[in-house]
Chains A and B, each alone.
Chain A
């Protein structure tokens, strides 16, 4: 049993038994309680402080195959009474769906090793301000950094509890420390912004403030005086900040709902080659201190480690109970999505990829939402740096890059520079011969 709040656990028991009394045949109740303190700092001064106390309870009531949900931030007994009433009454008149049900008992999470997701460290606002002051100070040491969009530090502690009428009840605590620094560079009428960001379960794992500030400054300065290049075909290297987004497109295309509904460019691709042979994609929830780690999914199901892509072949889907039943397979604990999702490292170092052609467009940012998961069509605004003969030469902005994810996936070459900074992580990626629209 993990550590959780007894008072909240009693509320869960109360809601389950109350809903059953009112006619529900099955019930699931979840509570998320969090406290967050954020401090923003700008131009050597405190800009904003924000303290948040949130609690939310959600109830899903089943009457056989009928189902409906309610949620509220008000946990007072008389309010819960009204909500449960409303939920059960709505369920009675909701049409049946034969695939509605709680998960199979045998899939419930039971216990596991400690994942070390909670750090008790509490920073007073002044400690947070000190961190941000140092980050900005380092950034402002560069004469081209003239302004800041603000830096922020937040500390969040969260408790998750889940219970259902099949006897599952468990909960755990997590913590998050996030520091962000965004600065503005200026030179002869050109003004640019960029940022650095660090997010960890444990305070001691955060980037040092000096690194945060110097990275933000470095990124904002290298964008100054950008050129708009002529339209053409280019080899593109995607910086790690951007390359991880390909995993987000990939995971939404292999979610149970996209696959079942057929609204995915990866439908019917199971056991087929979608990447080159050397590429593997893994999703695992049990990385110690992992940003995406958790003990069980939104339905209480144990989260299996998945090899989603193995030697370039699509090997698995992301499944919850509902779509699992529709597709006649078991949930693998992905109600709530992926956990720690990553490409395994490639074989070549980044420098080697940078020398693979005379001219390469190194993309450090994209803008817009022009990715179509149904067709795989991809078209985004982009900015970055030109690489000529292996060296960074000049910044590029106001261009677009376009292609189709089916072909882009097959052409991807991965560098060997994977780091675990976010919950979704990728090494740098080279894709040859993409269309860039500019002048």
Chain B
């Protein structure tokens, strides 16, 4: 039974016969239906600056033959529009002759509730909480000049209609709460952002203790940065804190292990399976099954149930992350990493929650062992060049380490490294694994999808720190 088609002019048997007819001679494909609702409420400059609500309904019809993908999508859920899409696909793949029929395993597991978080909390109480946040932050620190607090909520219902009438469905809630502050003291300004989120109702993240700790954290980081001195420049030892700094793993290793770049042999990792790409003791997984986490999915956007995929085990490269297309072309199976931003986008292999597992060192031990280096605690974004393997990530809270002791805070700086070699420089893996707070979005080829990262503290022997002080 299709919930999405129920309210449209298109009935499921018509849709199903168009899909079967279109995919008749193809290797793979499906009709992807999506009905999403999202809201954003922003408090800024002491006022509710904007509140908006968006409903987005549409379909994407995909047909695959060999390596060729034909895709057509529209926000018009009608027989006429779907027929046009079908015609477009058939003309593109006129010489199609595929037979791939890798069955999709069914699962009864669910990693989050189906409820729409937008409707689960009334509008008034959302505004109330934002006002409370604003008052709390401004009262807590007299140097506060600006506060922005944001609530974002969405509910995405997706349905995958496959050739022959098989229907796979998922309902995905997602919320996010962010606080950004700017402080000014003695003529110097610094800002910081902190947030939390995941696949639950707002209230799971907004009890008084929770939202206050988000505010406190944003204030703490901005305050630390008010006293920061220029960052050093050059190669040095780096201690990474647990949690957010795992952006390192996402950029240095994660993207390079996505199936598409390896099938095309354009990733710096494509010929390294079975070889050492990280120090002994480094194990990295990509896990879509963590309950209520931002990067988790019950099924991916092709219908494959997600799993816990081992990418690197004790330093040895084991697996790539796959969608159905790249798995088929590489003679393996999908790992449930086929994702898309929305019905407007084609599926690509993407990360879910990418995590380095615990080792047995303490953070204290790492810092003690460093003569001259930096201790990086909090991070903004990162980026990678998959082909050359070079990656960066930007720290937003960091300190110098001198003779085994944490010293003054330093200004935000970019750290740069080389993916295939960076994790070979890891000399200690901590015992304090933490996940990020649940606000990460990963961008690839213009598509943004929610992801998570996690890691324990790490000591890296050598990274280039992009400060100004030589």
Contacts and interface: CB of A to CB of B under 8 A. Distances in A.
Interface of A: 42, 45-56, 67-74, 79, 83, 86-87, 90, 93-95, 97, 125, 147, 149, 184, 191-193, 223, 226, 228, 231-233, 260-263, 367-370, 372, 374-375, 377, 379-381, 383, 397-404, 435-439
Most chain B CB atoms below 10 A, which of A47, A48, A379, A397: A379
B411 A262 contact: no
Contacts of A90: 51, 53, 123
Given A74-B55, A147-B265, A369-B383, 20 more contacts: A45-B67, A48-B71, A50-B72, A50-B73, A52-B344, A69-B52, A69-B53, A70-B53, A95-B48, A95-B127, A147-B266, A233-B470, A368-B382, A370-B413, A377-B411, A380-B392, A381-B391, A400-B466, A402-B413, A437-B466
Nearest to B466: A400
Interface in B406-459: 411-418
A51 B73 contact: yes
A328 B71 CA distance: 49
B393 interface: yes
Most chain B CB atoms below 10 A, which of A54, A228, A367: A367
A435 B71 contact: no
Contacts of B272: none
B414 A380 contact: yes
B67 A437 contact: no
Contacts of A380: 392, 414, 466
Contacts of A370: 380, 392, 394, 412-414, 466
Nearest to B91: A125
A191 B388 contact: yes
Contact of B189 (A226, A262, A439): A262
A49 B412 contact: no
Interface string B378-404: 001111111110111110000000000
B422 to A, nearest CB: 10
A1 to B, nearest CB: 28
B365 interface: no
A93 to B, nearest CB: 6
Contacts of A47: 67-69
Contacts of A52: 72-74, 344
Nearest to B92: A49
A420 to B, nearest CB: 24
A193 B413 CA distance: 25
A397 B385 CA distance: 11
Secondary structure of the B contact surface, majority rule: strand
A69 B464 contact: no
13 contacts: A53-B76, A55-B75, A72-B55, A73-B58, A231-B233, A368-B414, A370-B380, A370-B466, A379-B466, A381-B414, A400-B465, A401-B466, A402-B231
A67 B49 CA distance: 9
A245 B124 CA distance: 41
Q: Looking at chain B, what size class is its interface with the partner chain? A: 35 or more
Nearest to B465: A437
A383 B390 contact: yes
Interface string B39-50: 000001101111
A87 B54 CA distance: 10
A383 B412 CA distance: 20
B107 interface: no
B385 A68 contact: no
A398 B72 CA distance: 40
Contacts of B217: none
B127 A191 contact: no
Contact of A372 (B266, B383, B412, B469): B412
Contacts of A83: 53, 55
Contact of A93 (B45, B123, B394, B469): B123
B145 A73 contact: no
A48 B348 CA distance: 12
A368 B231 CA distance: 17
Most chain B CB atoms below 10 A, which of A69, A261, A370: A370
Nearest to A146: B265
Contact of A397 (B58, B70, B388): B388
Most chain A CB atoms below 10 A, which of B44, B233, B465: B233
B470 A73 contact: no
A368 B123 contact: no
Nearest to B188: A375
Contacts of B145: 262
A60 to B, nearest CB: 9
Contact of A381 (B184, B268, B390): B390
B468 interface: yes
B223 to A, nearest CB: 14
A67 B346 CA distance: 36
A53 B55 contact: no
A191 B71 CA distance: 31
B234 A397 contact: no
Given A191-B387, A231-B233, A398-B416, A51 B88 contact: yes
A334 B414 CA distance: 32
Given A50-B72, A97-B47, A86 B53 contact: yes
Contacts of A48: 68-71, 346
Which 7 A-B pairs give the minimum distances between C-beta atoms? A400-B466, A73-B75, A437-B233, A368-B392, A381-B392, A193-B387, A370-B414
A53 B92 contact: no
A342 to B, nearest CB: 25
Given A377-B411, A398-B464, A95 B392 contact: no
Contact of A53 (B51, B74, B266, B390): B74
Nearest to B189: A374
Given A72-B55, A381-B416, A263 B44 contact: no
Contact of B385 (A55, A86, A367): A367
Given A370-B412, A398-B390, A437 B346 contact: no
